[in-house]
Amino acid sequence: MSASNPSPNPTRPSPARSRTQRAGTTPTSPQVPIRPIQRPPGAEQPLHRLDELLTRLYHHRGLDGGLDHRLSALHPVNQLLGIDPAAALLADHIQAQRQLLIVGDYDADGATGTAVAMLGLRALGAGPLDFLVPSRFAQGYGLSPAVVDIAAERRPDLIITVDNGIASHAGLERARALGLPVLITDHHLPGPELPEAAALVNPNQPGCPFPSKHLAGVGVMFYLLIATRAELRRRGWFQGHRSEPNLAELLDLVALGTVADVVTLDANNRILVEQGLRRIRAGHCRPGLRALLEIAGVDLTRTSARDLGFAAAPRLNAAGRLEDMSAGIACLVTDKPIEAMHLAQRLQALNQERRALTHSMGLDAERLIAEILAEQDLTLAVETGDSDAANADAKHANEANADAGSADGAGARHADRPAGEHSERASTTRAGGIRTGGLEAGLCLFAEDWHEGVVGILAARVRERCQRPVIAFAVGGDGLLKGSARSIEGLHLRDCLAAVDHAHPGLITRFGGHAMAAGLSLPREALEPFKQAFADAVSEALGPEPATPVLHSDGALGPALLTLPTAETLRLAAPWGKGFSEPLFDGQFEISAPRLLKDRHLKLRARPAQGPPIEAIGFNLADQHPRGATRAQIAYRLDVNDYRGLRSPQLLIEQLVPIAE
């Protein structure tokens, strides 16, 4: 249970032990179906001018009038149903200096939302203020009766939830029995009935006219603070010695939580993220966020949404995955740079441990899948003869793809987030891995010593490699198996689990989630029958062999645009993310000097027709080594390589297909 005063060494579950491969069980590096590339109409010809490029990119994403990132363009606060009574309730408690307790969540959205609530309420003049976050391992997700009992020991006058509560009916009943009023702020999809709370703010509740249904939990809290400030202003609270706070100072954390939660970057969310990024680039961010970015080697003056999702978010999430979120929230709220750096270093160490666990568990997953195929007398198609190099890291997809959040808690559904991935990279990340021909339509994996906090990342990676819905199970603290599920396009995971539950009552102890990610619990003895039931449900929904995903390209770039100025412009041209995808291009290149870095990353030089060569790298793409080919069709993102202060353009390879001579 995270609290506002975390101990230096909080109790934590023992991580899965480090494992080495057993003799004779080395996983292989199989072939992967090549994903077809789709270009939108009008993108057949390469572009040669930067202004034309930006116009095309925005047009492909439904924008023909340019971007409007002004704060004044945000949707009005009063369009959020229930925000006026919620603000009035909060203002009452602030004026009376009553004790407030924030109950958050253990992912990055919950952590940033809790930090924003703590900092914002303190700035508004709140009295006694505290927070707690349920442990992933002890209490699980949300405002459960057990969490309410722990909260009651703090004797608060009001409980405020952040990023949870919309499905906490039992917890609300317990709070009412104890005489504790609860103000719910959440963004997950509600069930058939809303909980009976003192006040409730959720853009996805029935009847709410707020246009942006993709507001993250931290965004909901930010809006509530704005409404509360307006209510306090109306009451004359800021007259005299109290100064009215500038809540825009919280936008760096709002941006981090919004990007980390992988919500759709609609126009409203793009404003929140862009305004936060501008503060970060100007050096006006929290010391903790600055420390997280600096440890990751990010240049603050050039910070992008990708840096938030791929650098800061995984380190913040590591606390909730391996310990609890105390260190993460403490890092975000501290005003002391030295303390912030110490906490960021602790989060860095946790993230390194998390990466080691993920690597080890990934090797286990490779072996389990190989055993499944071996039982069917199927062989694995090996693309490369260098099995040691190809399997050094089990050919995992990008670390950050599965680090930006979790929906493993049962009971709530997310409006749109494919939790476990960052941005729309999930639809364009390499599908490399096990050949799928001999696998069930839905795949379940389990090992005794897998870590409960990391199975979501593992499920996301295996899903990308196998192009199957995947559930990875670990043993929970209560002895039940805790599963973290990740889906593919076209399959609504929560509905699929509901179908299994309906067809096999009692098989699943509990479940929850949304379209792309879900969590569930079941007894050990139910695992084998559940595997078949899940595979049958997936097969019925999708058919026996899901279609190979496609790569959505913005077209080809002419040599004049394969430059550092273009790459730098693209990084800052918009906050790219889910629903506003980072530009992806494709084209034919002459390739030379291919080599492997750390036995898993593909490095080469790519020369476009009538242009100079450019460095290119494909992370975890060892199995796409061209093997003597001199030309290739490459799908790529144009990025900036910053090495020891030297900046140059580079291609981030998404897919490389050799062209026959």
Predicted pLDDT at 628: 86
Residue 440 lies in a domain: yes
Q: How many residues does this entry show for the chain?
A: 661
| Pair 440, 465 in one domain | yes
Predicted pLDDT at 33: 56
Regions of the chain short of the pLDDT cut 50: 5-31, 378-413, 415-436
Residue 435 lies in a domain: yes
- Per the structure, the complete domain to which residue 608 belongs is given by 553-658
The answer to whether 583 touches 570, Cβ cutoff 8 Å, is yes
> Which CATH number belongs to the domain containing residue 170 in this structure?
3.90.1640.30
- Please give the single-letter amino acid code of residue 648: S
Query: Which of 195, 229, 246 marks a domain boundary?
Result: 246
pTM confidence score: 0.84
| Pair 611, 521 in one domain | no
| Pair 509, 580 in one domain | no
- Residue 83 neighbours by CB under 8 Å, 6+ apart: 77, 201, 223, 224, 227
Residue 50 lies in a domain: no
Query: Which of 203, 225, 246 marks a domain boundary?
Result: 246
> Which CATH number belongs to the domain containing residue 441 in this structure?
3.10.310.30
Predicted pLDDT at 546: 59
Can you tell me the distance from the alpha carbon of 66 to that of 43, in angstroms, rounded to the nearest whole number? 19
Residue 118 lies in a domain: yes
Residue 631 lies in a domain: yes
| Pair 490, 511 in one domain | yes
Return the structure tokens found at 593: 């000097």
| Pair 230, 366 in one domain | no
Residue 31 lies in a domain: no
Return the structure tokens found at 261: 């939660």
Can you tell me the distance from the alpha carbon of 639 to that of 392, in angstroms, rounded to the nearest whole number? 26
| Pair 574, 534 in one domain | no
Can you tell me the distance from the alpha carbon of 223 to that of 229, in angstroms, rounded to the nearest whole number? 10
| Pair 526, 562 in one domain | no
> Which CATH number belongs to the domain containing residue 576 in this structure?
2.40.50.460
Predicted pLDDT at 225: 99
| Pair 504, 572 in one domain | no
Residue 494 lies in a domain: yes
| Pair 621, 523 in one domain | no
| Pair 483, 631 in one domain | no
Return the structure tokens found at 477: 């603290």
Instruction: Residue 605: name the closest of 574, 641, 578 by CA.
Output: 641
Return the structure tokens found at 206: 């029935």
Predicted pLDDT at 497: 94
| Pair 518, 592 in one domain | no
Q: Which residues pair with 256 in a beta bridge?
A: none
| Pair 522, 627 in one domain | no
Find the radius of gyration of the CA atoms of the chain. Answer: 25
Predicted pLDDT at 250: 99
Q: How many domains does the chain have?
A: 3
Residue 133 lies in a domain: yes
Predicted pLDDT at 1: 62
Query: Which of 487, 520, 542 marks a domain boundary?
Result: 542
